[in-house]
Amino acid sequence: MSLDKATVAKIAHLARIKVPDEELEALAGELSQILTFVEQLNEVDTKDVPPMTSVAAQKLRRRKDEVTDGGYAAQVLSNGPETAEGFFVVPKVVE
Amino acid sequence: MTALTHLTMAEALDGLAKKEFTAVELTEAHVRAVEAVRPFNIFITETPDAALSMAKASDERRAQGAAGPMDGLPIAVKDLFCTKGVATTAGSHILDGFKPEYESTVTSQLWRDGAVMLGKVNLDEFAMGSATITAHQGETVSPWSPGAPGAWEKKIVAGGSSGGSAAVIAARAALGATGTDTGGSIRQPAGYTGTVGIKPTYGRCSRWGIVAYASSLDQAGPMTRTVEDAAIMLRSMCGFDPKDSTSVDMPVPDFRAALTGDIRGLRVGIPKEYRVEGLSAEIAALWEQGIAWLKEAGAEPVEVSLPHTKYALAAYYIIAPAEASSNLARYDGVRYGLRVEGGNLKEMYENTRGAGFGKEVQRRILIGTYVLSAGYYDAYYNKARQVRTRIKWDFDEAFKSCDVILTPTAPSTPFAIGEKMDDPVQMYLNDVFTVPINLAGLPAMSVPAGLGADGLPLGLQLIGRPFDEETLLRVGQVVEKAANFSAVPPFVA
C-alpha cells in the first residue's frame, strides 16, 4: 500500500495536525513503509474469528447513574492556556 | 556497610526497621545521586524538596510504629503518571506547563504505602518508542555507555519507552521506578539495563491518571534491581480501582510470599516461533542457558507453539496507533498545555498539534487516523483485532501444556543512539518478543541474565497465565539466582 502526498495531507487534516508541504513527501514514504509492513496480516485466516474487544474476560461494570464528583471548576480550568469567567476561551467559532 | 544507594529495597526496609539509618538519610543519599546522574538526562523534573519532606514524614510514621510496606523507599516516577502539583509532560512539548490537579491511582498507592518521590523520569514521547530518544526534553543515555559521563565513547540507549526508569535504577539513583508497558516498554528497557521489570496482567494496575497511549494494551508495573523488590513494589501498585473501567476486582496477593524458590515439576514452555531470523547467537545461547537453569531447579521444559507470533508486530502497529489517534485527540490547545494561535479554531488545533507533537507521535497518529478512516476500518483495524484474537488463542492453547513461558526479552543487546533510526519498521523489531504479550493481556517480566560480547546486558523474559504473577515471580527469582547477575554499569552514582 502506497500513500501519495495528497492522501497524507488529507489524513493530516483529519487528525488536525499541520504538516508543512515540504515534509509531506518524506512522510508519505514512511507511512507507506508501515502500511506495507502490516499487509502481511492478510496471510492470516480470520474467517469466523471475532475481533477482540476486551482482552480481560470481563464485562464492563455498571454503576448507578448519579453524580459522584465535581464542583471544582477552578481546578478544572487551572491548566487552561486561556480562561475567563469560569470558561475555556477559544478563537471565535461562529462567523 | 554497602552505600545506601546500592541497597535493594528489601535491604533498605530491613535497615530502616533496625534503625541503621533513617528515611531522611536514605533519601539524602539518593538526592545526591540524582544530581550525579544529570549528564545522562534521566530526570525531567527533580523533586528533592518533596522527597525530603516525604522522608521526614516516613521517619515519623516509623517512630509511631505505623510504617507502610514501602515506607521510606526513594523511587522515581515515569513522567507519564500524573502527579498532583508536579509537572507531568509525557516527554512532549504539547504538555508544556501542565501541572495535574490530581494524582494517578498507582502513584497515590505508592505514597500511601510510604514510598518517597525523587522526581519524574524521561521516556519516549507519549511512551511511543523503544529507546528513550524522542522526548522533547532530549534523549536519555544509558549508564552502561562506555566512557566518562558526557564524554562517552558511544552513547548506548537505555531502551524504551520507560528508559529513564531503567537508567535511574541501573545508575543506582533510585531503588525502584514506575514504568508503563504497551508493547514492551517496561521489559525491553529492563533487559537493556540489567534490571528487573514486570508488566502485570492487563487490569491489575489502575490506568487512572496515567497519560494514555493505547488503552487496551497499557499497563503500569514496577522496575527494580531484584525480583524480590519487584514483588514488594508490585503489591503496592496493584489493586482494584473503580475509576478505571478495565480494572479487575481481585484480591492482591502478597507477591513476596510467592518467592519460595521451589519450581519442581513446573512446566516451562519454549515457543519454537521465537527462534526468529536475526536472533543473535549469544542470545540463542543465553536462552538455552536459561532452559538449563530451570531444568536444574527441577522444572520441565516443554516445546510449545505460538503460530501467530510473526504477525503480532503488524497487528500492534495498527491497534496501538488507532487507539493513540483517538486518545491523543484531547491535546488541542484548549484545556491544558501548549497553544499555538491560528486564524480560527481549526487552525489553532492544527498549529498546536503540528508544533506540539514530535515526529514519531505524529506518524502514529496519522497511521491510526488512516486505519480508522472510512473504507479502511475493516481492512486494517478489524483485521488486526481478529489477528489479536488468534494470538490470544495461541497463548490459551500453549498454557494447556505449560505453566510459564521462557523467551529472550529482546533480539539483541542495546544499540547505540543513532543506529537503527532511519527506518521505523526496523526500530519496531526491538519489540518482537514483547508485543505479543500485550496483545494477549498476559503478565510478563524481564530478568537480567548475562552480558553480551559487547559487555552490555541481556535479559530473559518470562510470560505467565493471566493473574498468575506469583508463578512468574517465583520462576523469575530462580533465573535471577542461577544467573547471579552482578555486573554494574561503568557509571554508578
Q: Could you tell me the pLDDT band of residue B422, with boundaries at 50, 70 and 90?
A: low
pLDDT per residue as tens digits for the range A13-65: 999 999 999 999 999 999 999 999 999 999 999 999 999 988 887 788 888 99
In the predicted structure, residue A89 carries a pLDDT above the cut 60? yes
- Predicted local confidence at residue B60, as pLDDT: 98
pLDDT per residue as tens digits for the range B77-127: 999 999 999 999 999 999 999 999 999 999 999 999 999 999 999 999 999
Q: Could you tell me the pLDDT band of residue B13, with boundaries at 50, 70 and 90?
A: very high
Contact A17 B355 (CB under 8 A): no
Distance from CA of A35 to the nearest CA of B (A): 8
Quote the cell numbers at residue A21: 508541504
In the predicted structure, residue B296 carries a pLDDT above the cut 90? yes
pTM for the full predicted model: 0.97
Q: What is the DSSP string of B427-449?
A: HHGGGTTTHHHHHHT--EEEEEE
Which of B334, B355, B363 shows the shortest C-beta gap to A88?
B334
Distance from CA of B370 to the nearest CA of A (A): 6
Calpha distance B96→B336 (Å, rounded): 8
Calpha distance A72→A53 (Å, rounded): 34
Look up cell 516443554; give the residue: B302
Which residues of B are the active-site residues? 78, 161, 185
More confident residue, B275 or B195: B195
Which of B357, B365, B385 shows the shortest C-beta gap to A51?
B385
- Predicted local confidence at residue A61, as pLDDT: 85
Which of B202, B334, B370 shows the shortest C-beta gap to A55?
B202
In CATH, the number for domain B4-262 is 3.90.1300.10
Give the residue on A whose Cα is nearest the Cα of B438: A55
Q: Which residues of B392-409 are buried (b: 16+ CB within 10 A; e: fewer)?
A: bebbeebbeebbbbbbbb
- Predicted local confidence at residue B421, as pLDDT: 64
**Mean pLDDT to the nearest integer, B166-174:** 98
What is the length of chain A? Answer: 95
**Mean pLDDT to the nearest integer, B10-39:** 98
Indicate which of B319, B344, B386, B427 best probes the interface with A, i.e. most A CBs within 10 Å of its own CB.
B386
Give the residue on A whose Cα is nearest the Cα of B338: A81
Query: Residue type for B189, please?
Result: P
In the predicted structure, residue A95 carries a pLDDT above the cut 70? no
- Per-domain boundaries in chain B: 4-262
CA terminus-to-terminus distance, chain B: 16
Percent of chain B with pLDDT over 70: 98
In the predicted structure, residue B434 carries a pLDDT above the cut 60? yes
**Mean pLDDT to the nearest integer, B150-176:** 97
Quote the cell numbers at residue B144: 552502561
Q: What is the DSSP string of B87-143?
A: ---TT-GGGTT---SS--HHHHHHHHTT-EEEEEE--SGGG--SSS---TT-PPBPT
- Predicted local confidence at residue A2, as pLDDT: 86
Q: Could you tell me the pLDDT band of residue B1, with boundaries at 50, 70 and 90?
A: low
Which residues of chain B are within 8 Å of residue A69 when distances are taken between CB atoms? none
Calpha distance B106→B234 (Å, rounded): 10
Please state the ipTM of this predicted complex. 0.96
C-alpha of B74 from chain center: 18
| Residue-averaged pLDDT of chain B | 96
Contact B338 A37 (CB under 8 A): no
